């Protein structure tokens, strides 16, 4: 256990970012603090450290500049609640049972926060968790019910529901800061899960950022007008920016006359009505001229698709700016309190997201943009500033990695592996393939059940249930996954090897057709559907 030490002026000058007059906690003890930041649906394409030019995220970028950037961070199941269950348990969805957003999560099973409590940590979870029931393993929890609301959201504090006034991202940061500064016991190491709802659909920006991208027009990715040739399952999607993104519900074209058609007027009106008069005034001042302009232009076809993409980007990226501000506030707190050296800070998302690639928004597919997730981490004691890794890391690895850093033993049944020695540079040895599963079908956005394996260069995907479709990609030659080479004779050998890899990873993690059937039956029973 740590003892809080108030360092004097001499030691203070040796600490990074130490501000005069700031209270200093010790940075020398063995158990590091852990701040695990997760946002929701944050595409790596929308973090400037990843080298894209969409937006500027200076605070999130700091973690990579002062620590490590993971170029190959992935999830095991690209959807919210399952991803969070994997993160907590260190076990694949088919093992922890939370295979989709609907089936229940069993909080009674082990998780890494429970293990950290056993070795003296104080634990807190703040923000979005999307797993029903009182979080177990946390001394303090203050979480959003379900998806949460952007404006004037409800939170559940240690099981008790209350409404806050303001913008969700800022409120989540305030709650996290309040716990760090006033609620925790400063004699103990801490684990803080600080989880933002943003930038989840319906991408409602904070008042101060409504005009952030006013003068910019976004150009979509090269495969925005994808025709899905050779990919029949992708063609069945219901996540097209042009075809499925709603003008009113998603893009805020809630006109008073009701001329703009929508199936979701009630839901859109409901989100608007949550705002108070001042919030509505700022909202209207921003969106009313856009609505008027949109109506006057009468856009159709390709022009309409490009207009929707641009509006989507403006809203989506604006919500990320507030997330980045929150990261800045937390990093400042660590600096001002002498905690930067001995605190591991991780930034990730529950999965990636499509920003117009293949014409899409949303996630779920094993294609790169949603299979991958942003991952950046700072721990000055062990990780050299400016490190970049290409190792195939998954959200499965967080639990064992944190336990490793904390000096706790890693339970045998955890399936992930600690990447501590990989990021410190102590070893180069790592896995050569990762496994993926997706189950939420039939369901929203119409993405078939599938599983697959990815190596450094290739990806094999099997869509099953309503379909029996195989896809193979050469990611070196075709990083955008436009060319399914499964039936290309020149890839016969690769195809054979990738099939063998799939068998290997399924056996390694204990997955099988019987397991798929078991979870399918749970799914059908819960929805009262026959198949």
Contacting residues toward ligand SGN, per CB under 6 A: 40-41, 79-80, 101, 130, 147, 200-202, 362, 444-445
- Residue closer to ligand SGN by CB (options 190, 360) is 360
At residue 266, the 3 state secondary structure works out as helix
How far, in Å, CA of 202 to CA of 276, rounded? Answer: 18
Residue 226 touches Ca ion, criterion: CB under 5 A = no
At residue 127, the 3 state secondary structure works out as strand
451 binds, among Ca ion, ligand SGN, none (CB under 5 to 8 A by kind): none
Binding mask 21-60 for Ca ion (x = CB under 5 A): -------------------xx-------------------
- Residue closer to Ca ion by CB (options 25, 40) is 40
Contact at 8 Å (CB) between 319 and 204? yes
The nearest distance, CB 324 to ligand SGN, in angstroms, is 19
202 binds, among Ca ion, ligand SGN, none (CB under 5 to 8 A by kind): ligand SGN
User: What number of other Cβ atoms are within 10 A of residue 99's Cβ?
Assistant: 28
Residue 80 touches Ca ion, criterion: CB under 5 A = yes
516 binds, among Ca ion, ligand SGN, none (CB under 5 to 8 A by kind): none
The nearest distance, CB 176 to ligand SGN, in angstroms, is 20
445 binds, among ligand SGN, Ca ion, none (CB under 5 to 8 A by kind): ligand SGN
The nearest distance, CB 88 to Ca ion, in angstroms, is 15
Residue nearest ligand SGN by beta-carbon distance: 80
- Residue closer to Ca ion by CB (options 80, 472) is 80
Q: Strand 122-127 and strand 393-394: pairing?
A: unpaired
- Residue closer to ligand SGN by CB (options 188, 195) is 195
How far, in Å, CA of 435 to CA of 411, rounded? Answer: 21
- Residue closer to Ca ion by CB (options 33, 394) is 394
Residue nearest Ca ion by beta-carbon distance: 80
Residue 100 touches Ca ion, criterion: CB under 5 A = no
406 binds, among Ca ion, ligand SGN, none (CB under 5 to 8 A by kind): none
Candidates 324, 350, 440, 471: give the one binding Ca ion (CB under 5 A). Answer: 350
454 binds, among Ca ion, ligand SGN, none (CB under 5 to 8 A by kind): none
- Residue closer to ligand SGN by CB (options 226, 246) is 246
The nearest distance, CB 85 to ligand SGN, in angstroms, is 12
Contact at 8 Å (CB) between 378 and 33? no
Q: How many amino acids of this chain bind Ca ion (CB under 5 A)?
A: 4
Beta bridge pairs of residue 155 = 162
Label residues 33-46 b or e (16+ Cβ within 10 Å = b): bbbbbbbbbbbbbb
- Residue closer to Ca ion by CB (options 287, 398) is 398
Element (H, E) at 438: strand 434-438
The nearest distance, CB 354 to ligand SGN, in angstroms, is 11
443's tokens: 């369901």
81's tokens: 């609640």
The nearest distance, CB 362 to ligand SGN, in angstroms, is 5
Contact at 8 Å (CB) between 406 and 31? yes
How far, in Å, CA of 86 to CA of 92, rounded? Answer: 6
Beta bridge pairs of residue 142 = 126, 157
Closest CA to 111 of 91, 125, 92, 128: 91
Contact at 8 Å (CB) between 322 and 198? yes
The nearest distance, CB 382 to Ca ion, in angstroms, is 30
The nearest distance, CB 101 to Ca ion, in angstroms, is 9
How far, in Å, CA of 253 to CA of 240, rounded? Answer: 18
The nearest distance, CB 79 to Ca ion, in angstroms, is 7
How far, in Å, CA of 449 to CA of 337, rounded? Answer: 48
- Residue closer to Ca ion by CB (options 173, 351) is 351
- Residue closer to ligand SGN by CB (options 147, 480) is 147
206 binds, among ligand SGN, Ca ion, none (CB under 5 to 8 A by kind): none
**How would DSSP label each residue in 60-123?**
HHHHHHSSEEETTEE-SS-SHHHHHHHHHHSS-HHHHS--SSSS---TTS--HHHHHHHTT-EE
- Residue closer to Ca ion by CB (options 40, 226) is 40
Contact at 8 Å (CB) between 138 and 124? yes
Label residues 411-439 b or e (16+ Cβ within 10 Å = b): eeebbbbbbbbbbeeeeeeeeebbbbbbb
User: What number of other Cβ atoms are within 10 A of residue 218's Cβ?
Assistant: 18
The nearest distance, CB 251 to ligand SGN, in angstroms, is 12
End-to-end, the C-alpha distance of the chain in Å comes to: 55
- Residue closer to ligand SGN by CB (options 98, 454) is 98
The nearest distance, CB 290 to ligand SGN, in angstroms, is 20
Which residues of the shown chain bind Ca ion in the complex (CB under 5 A)? Answer: 40-41, 80, 350
């Amino acid at each position: 256990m740590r003892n809080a030490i108030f360092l004097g002026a001499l030691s203070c000058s040796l600490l990074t970012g130490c501000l005069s007059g700031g209270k200093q906690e010790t940075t020398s003890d063995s158990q590091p603090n852990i701040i695990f930041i997760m946002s929701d649906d944050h595409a790596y394409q929308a973090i400037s450290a990843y080298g894209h030019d969409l937006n500027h995220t200076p605070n999130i970028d700091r973690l990579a500049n002062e620590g490590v950037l993971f170029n190959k961070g992935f999830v095991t199941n690209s959807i919210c609640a399952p991803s969070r269950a994997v993160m907590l348990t260190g076990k694949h969805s088919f093992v922890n049972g939370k295979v989709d957003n609907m089936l229940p999560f069993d909080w009674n099973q082990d998780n890494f926060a429970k293990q950290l409590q056993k070795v003296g940590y104080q634990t807190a979870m703040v923000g979005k968790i999307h797993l029903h029931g009182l979080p177990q393993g946390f001394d303090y929890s203050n979480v959003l019910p379900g998806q949460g609301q952007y404006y004037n959201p409800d939170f559940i504090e240690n099981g008790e529901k209350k409404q806050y006034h303001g913008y969700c991202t800022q409120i989540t940061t305030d709650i996290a800061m309040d716990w760090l500064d006033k609620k925790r016991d400063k004699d103990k190491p801490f684990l803080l899960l600080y989880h933002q709802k943003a930038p989840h659909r319906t991408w409602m920006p904070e008042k101060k950022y409504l005009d952030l991208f006013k003068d910019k027009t976004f150009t979509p990715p090269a495969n925005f007008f994808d025709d899905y040739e050779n990919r029949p399952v992708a063609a069945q999607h219901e996540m097209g920016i042009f075809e499925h993104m709603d003008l009113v519900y998603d893009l805020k074209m809630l006109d008073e006359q009701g001329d703009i058609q929508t199936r979701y007027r009630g839901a859109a009106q409901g989100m608007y009505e949550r705002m108070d008069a001042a919030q509505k005034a700022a909202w209207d001042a921003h969106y009313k001229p856009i609505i008027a302009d949109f109506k006057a232009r009468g856009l159709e076809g390709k022009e309409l698709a490009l207009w929707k993409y641009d509006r989507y980007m403006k809203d989506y990226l604006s919500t990320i700016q507030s997330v980045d501000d929150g990261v800045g506030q937390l990093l400042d707190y660590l600096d001002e309190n002498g905690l930067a050296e001995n605190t591991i800070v991780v930034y990730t998302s529950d999965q990636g997201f499509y920003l117009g690639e293949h014409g899409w928004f949303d996630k779920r597919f094993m294609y790169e943009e949603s299979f991958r997730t942003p991952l950046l981490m700072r721990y000055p004691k062990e990780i050299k500033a400016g490190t970049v890794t290409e190792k195939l890391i998954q959200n499965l690895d967080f639990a064992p990695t944190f336990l490793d850093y904390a000096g706790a033993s890693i339970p045998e049944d955890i399936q992930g592996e600690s990447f501590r020695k990989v990021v410190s540079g102590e070893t180069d040895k790592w896995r050569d393939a990762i496994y993926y599963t997706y189950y939420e079908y039939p369901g929203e956005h119409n993405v078939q059940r599938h599983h697959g394996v990815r190596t450094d260069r290739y990806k094999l995907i099997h869509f099953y249930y309503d379909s029996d479709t195989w896809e193979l990609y050469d990611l070196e030659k075709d990083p955008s996954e436009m060319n399914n080479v499964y039936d290309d004779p020149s890839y016969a050998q690769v195809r054979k090897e990738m099939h063998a890899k799939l068998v290997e990873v399924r056996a390694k993690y204990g997955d099988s057709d019987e397991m798929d059937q078991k979870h399918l039956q749970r799914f059908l029973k819960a929805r009262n559907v026959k198949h």
